[in-house]
Amino acid sequence: MINVTRSSLPPFEEYCAEIREIWDSRWLTNMGKKHEALEAALRDYLGCRHLALCVNGHLALENLLEAFQLKGEILTTPFTFASTTHAIVRCGCRPVFCDIDPERFTLDPRELERRLTKDTAAVLPVHVYGNLCDLEAIADFGRRHGLPVIYDAAHAFGVFKDGVSAAAFGDAAMFSFHATKVFHSIEGGLAVCRDAAMLQTLNDLKNFGIHGPEEVPFVGGNAKMNEFCAAMGLCNLRHLEGEIEKRRRVTERYRQRLEGVAGLRLNPVQEGVKSNYAYFPVVFDGFRLSRDQVFALLAKEGIHARKYFFPLTNSFDCYRGRPGFDPADTPVAAHIADRVLTLPLYADLALEDVDRICDLILG
């Protein structure tokens, strides 16, 4: 059986050595040594000074939205994971859905002016599959209207543009370190911001606003990463470049086999961007088989691809009937969501398996 992804793990002994100190100290959570070491390593790797580890990416995003004290409408897209839209709604804001660019599936910046109202409070674009958004156009829009840009960079850990990490774009960014992501800490996430005052707020939000045993100046929740997760992150970070290189080999093989085939569309390679090869989406558009037929054909062979992202978040059951939630408003996103399939991709996927998958698709 081949799944769409398979979590990477460090050598067992390496993780055991990493958690030895946790046993010795009995300090299991609450910003211990591993948490501190992982934040330091991430500041280094991402080239960002202000960042807060979190228990998961979703709460990192909710905490960012809260830290910006947003009210009203947030410009975003429905071609994303449930988390992005749910975070906006759960924070008491309204998502306003922009359509996506048909090539890279990220927010189409031409939509921003069109959807702007007096209630617009922020922009929340997503670096879908690790494809970077149109950074300049979105930054320009934010600047012109005085709106913060907060990136959902859950897919973009390890992506760099001209040597600058995806963490550095926008006024803030969120990463997910979930087990299925390129880099993970079992569960985990990261909020990145630009100044020390906001970082203090993010740290308050993740630990009940507690500053000392008798000092609680802020109403916060709990979104702390524990020491075992931080230890996993430290181990995985050491192996990240190797994992990405293995993913690159798998991706190259898929491209060799599927590029230029009539009826199949692949994401273009972005110029000046060092990719993390997070996903391999294929759009079946005018192919002899539909996306759903390919999905079923592979499943019959024990190969589990994923209809990612389908359905669009603006067609979720939980939002039925809400004004503004209508996939017909975002026709490009609706078109792609009906036709896209992300193929199995992980570091240790054998090239023979990639060939078998391609043989099945090409028939």
Ligand X SMILES: *Cc1c(COP(=O)(O)O)cnc(C)c1O
Q: Which residues bind ligand X (CB under 6 A)?
A: 56-58, 80-81, 83-84, 126, 152, 154-155, 176, 178, 189
- 51 or 258: CB nearest ligand X: 51
- Shortest CB 15 distance to ligand X, Å: 20
SS3 call for 320: coil
Q: Which is nearer to ligand X, 82 or 350 (CB)?
A: 82
d(CA 7, CA 134) in angstroms, rounded, equals 30
Q: Indicate the residue among 85 and 201 with the shorter CB distance to ligand X.
A: 85
CB of 67 to ligand X, least distance (A): 17
* Torsion, CA 134, CA 280, CA 345, CA 341, rounded to 10: 120
Q: Is 281 helix (H, G, I), strand (E, B) or coil?
A: strand
- Closer to ligand X by Cβ: residue 154 or 232: 154
Query: DSSP 3-state assignment of 183?
Result: coil
CB nearer ligand X, residue 106 or residue 207: 106
Least Cβ distance, residue 126 to ligand X (angstroms): 5
Torsion angles phi and psi, residue 228, rounded to 5: -70, -40
8 close to 346: Cβ distance less than 8 angstroms: yes
* 166, 179, 284 from 200: Cα distances, Å: 22, 27, 46
By beta carbon distance, the residue nearest ligand X is 57
Determine if the peptide bond prior to 310 is cis (ω within 30°).
Answer: no
Q: Distance between CA 155 and CA 297 in Å, rounded?
A: 27
Tell the smallest beta-carbon distance from residue 81 to ligand X (Å).
Answer: 4
User: Closest separation between CB of residue 76 and ligand X, Å?
Assistant: 11
Nearer to ligand X among residue 148 and residue 189 (C-beta): 189
Task: Report, in Å, the least distance between residue 84 CB and ligand X.
Answer: 5
Give SS3 for 280: strand
Residue 347, CA atoms < 13 Å, CB-side half-sphere: 18
